[in-house]
Amino acid sequence: MNQGPTSSGGESARFRAGDEVRVRVDNPGGHFRTPAYIQGQAGRVHKLCGVFPNPESLAYGGDGQPAQPLYRVEFSQKQVWPEYRGPVSDKIHVDIYQHWLEPV
């Protein structure tokens, strides 16, 4: 069964490329796809990847609705890892669903 992007029935996109966002800090107590190391970090939306059924619902047999816009969000490595060995220009991109993001 295809759990690919949906074009309708999902949440509308709140953010656009270039927007400053922060990843919420949370542990909803079940399955979720937002790595711990990126929670609480501020970054910039690189692009909107599409709208996808919510994995936190799919994981338990739910229908994944409302589907969530998924963003590729860019973070500075030096900011994410204080001990980072590498130039300040190095970046990390993480795919994050909209309900995990808040505007800065």
Partner 1 sequence: MTIPETPGNGHDGHDHEDHPGMAHDEEMGYYALRARAMEALLVEKGICSPDEIQGMVDRVEARSPADGARVVARAWADPEFKALLLSDPEAALAQLGYSLPVTTPKLDVVENTDKLHHLVVCTLCSCYPRALLGRPPDWYKSLAYRSRAVVDPRGVISEFGLDLGDDVEVLVLDSTADLRYLVLPRRPEGSQEMTEEQLAELVTRDSMIGVTNARSPQAVGAG
Partner 2 sequence: MPQVHDRGGWPNEDPIDQEEHNLSDWERRVDAMHNVLSEKGLRRTDEMRRAIESLDPATYEACSYYERWTAALEIMLLEKGVITREELDGKFEEIRNRV
Positions in the binding site for partner 1 (CB under 8 A) = 1-5, 33-35, 37-38, 49-50, 52, 55, 60, 70, 72, 77, 81, 83-87, 89-97
HSE value, Cβ hemisphere, 13 Å, CA-based, for 56: 16
Contact pattern from residue 6 through residue 45 relative to partner 2, giving x for each residue in contact according to CB under 8 A and a dash for the rest: ------------------------xx---xxxx-------
Residue 58 binds which entry of partner 2, partner 1, none, CB below 5-8 Å type-dependent: partner 2
**Token pair belonging to 44:** 């910039």
DSSP percent split of the chain into helix, strand, coil, nearest 5: 15, 35, 50
By residue count, the chain amounts to: 104
Q: Which of 14, 22, 42, 81 binds partner 2 (CB under 8 A)?
A: 81
Cα angle: 48, vertex 22, 60; to 5 degrees:
70
Q: Which of 58, 66, 76, 79 binds partner 2 (CB under 8 A)?
A: 58
